[in-house]
């Protein structure tokens, strides 16, 4: 299933969907891309990408496969 950013309409990668679910709401059905999510969280896309790597490698989170 293809997901699009709720705000800008960009096609989302599975890691972007997983990060949104991990940080915002596990049951979400609409998502934001890394750039829009970073803006909402007062962060940077680079920092959010670091979190993706952390959740995948250190926490072995099942959302990031």
List, as one string, the DSSP characters of 13-59: PHHHHHHHHHHT-TT-SSB--HHHHHHHTT--HHHHHHHHHHHHHTS
Q: How confident is the model at residue 65 (pLDDT cuts 50, 70, 90)?
A: confident
**pTM for this structure?**
0.94
**pLDDT digits over 3-51, tens only?**
999 999 999 999 999 999 999 999 999 999 999 999 999 999 999 999 9
């Amino acid at each position: 299933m293809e997901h699009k950013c709720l705000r800008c309409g960009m096609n989302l990668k599975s890691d972007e969907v997983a990060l949104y679910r991990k940080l915002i709401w596990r049951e979400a059905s609409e998502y934001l891309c890394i750039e829009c999510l970073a803006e909402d969280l007062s962060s940077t896309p680079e920092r959010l990408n670091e979190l993706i790597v952390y959740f995948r490698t250190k926490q072995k989170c099942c959302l990031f496969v």
